[in-house]
Amino acid sequence: MEPVPDFFQGEDGSARVEQLEWLRKHLSLTDDFFARVLSTDASLITEWRFGCKPLDQTLQKKVERLWRMFLHLFSMLNFDYARTRELLEAEAAPIPSLSTPNFFLPWAGGSIRGYLESHGEKGVEEVNRWVISFRFANRYPVSSLPGQ
């Protein structure tokens, strides 16, 4: 297991850029992925990463929530980045009935990556809620997440 880089807990603009760069490198994520999840244009993400354009407050908050969700995934998997990448790409079996009480996978029938891309900010919130519930053995849904 690699040591955790200092920028993992950073909250300023340069830390956010490093965080997305790290996700690009270790999880094979692209600016197109980030653009779909953040509901913006891929060229804006690229220009921001290279320091050519700033992100507005709304997009900065979305990047922050996305990073927090990934931190929770990493933490749940003991910061094993290969396992995190596998979980992100793994296809989950569909749920036979929506009457399943609590703890269903929001991305059932697909992958977390695909779910995030198609559901954007709502997907980030739901995956984060699932990870927190799973990690802390809370069988009841989290009504709100700190800092959101």
Domain boundaries, the chain: 6-135
53's CB contacts (< 8 A; 6+ apart) are 44, 47
Q: What is the pLDDT of residue 143?
A: 47
Q: What is the pLDDT along the chain (148 residues), one digit of tens a residue?
A: 566 667 777 677 788 888 899 999 989 999 999 999 999 999 999 999 998 988 888 999 999 999 999 999 988 898 888 999 999 999 988 876 655 544 578 898 899 999 999 999 999 999 999 998 877 765 544 444 444 4
Structure tokens at 96: 């036979």
